[in-house]
Structure 1
Amino acid sequence: MASDARLIEQLDPASTVLLTVECQRGVVGVDSALPELAAVARKSGALTHIARLVVAAHEAGVQVLHAVAERRPDGRGANSNARLFKAARRLPVQQIVGSTAVRIADPIPVSEDDLVVRRLHGLSPLAGTDVDALLRNFGCRTLVVTGVSANVAIPNAVFDAVNLGYTAVVPSDAIAGVPADYTPAMIRNTLALVATVTTTDEVLTCWKRPRRAS
Structure 2
Amino acid sequence: MPSYEQLREILDPATTVLLTVECQQGVVGTESALPELAEEARTSGALANVARLVIAAHHGGVQVVHAVAERRPDGRAANRNARLFRAAERLPVQQLSGTRAVRIAPPIEVADEDLVVRRLHGLSPLAGTGVDPLLRNLGCRTLLVTGVSANVAIPNAVFDAVNLGYTAVVPADAIAGVPADYTPAMVRNTLALVATVTSTQDVLGVWKRPRGA
Same fold (TM over 0.5): yes
SS at structure 1 position matched to 2:72: coil
C-alpha RMSD of matched pairs (Å): 0.8
How do 1:40-189 and structure 2 match up within 5 A?
40-189=40-189
Q: Distance in 1 between matches of 2:42 and 2:171?
A: 16
Q: Distance in 2 between matches of 1:131 and 1:14?
A: 18
Q: Distance in 1 between matches of 2:206 and 2:101?
A: 33
Give 1:103 deviation, angstroms: 0.0
Q: Which runs of 5+ in 1 are unaligned?
A: none
Runs of 4+ in 1 over 6 A off after TM superposition: none
Please list the CA deviations of residues 143-184 of structure 1 after superposition, one character each: whole Å capped at 9, or x if unmatched.
000000000000000000000000000000000000010000
SS at structure 2 position matched to 1:14: coil
Instruction: Give identity over the alignment, percent.
Output: 79
Q: Which moved more, 1:1-10 or 1:18-27?
A: 1-10
1:35 aligns with 2:29: no
SS at structure 1 position matched to 2:54: helix
**One-letter code of the match for 1:78?**
A
Q: Using structure 1 for the length normalisation, give the TM-score.
A: 0.99
1:8 aligns with 2:8: yes
Q: Which runs of 5+ in 2 are unaligned?
A: none
Q: Distance in 2 between matches of 1:135 and 1:56?
A: 19
Please list the CA deviations of residues 13-59 of structure 1 after superposition, one character each: whole Å capped at 9, or x if unmatched.
00000000000000000000000000000000000000000000000
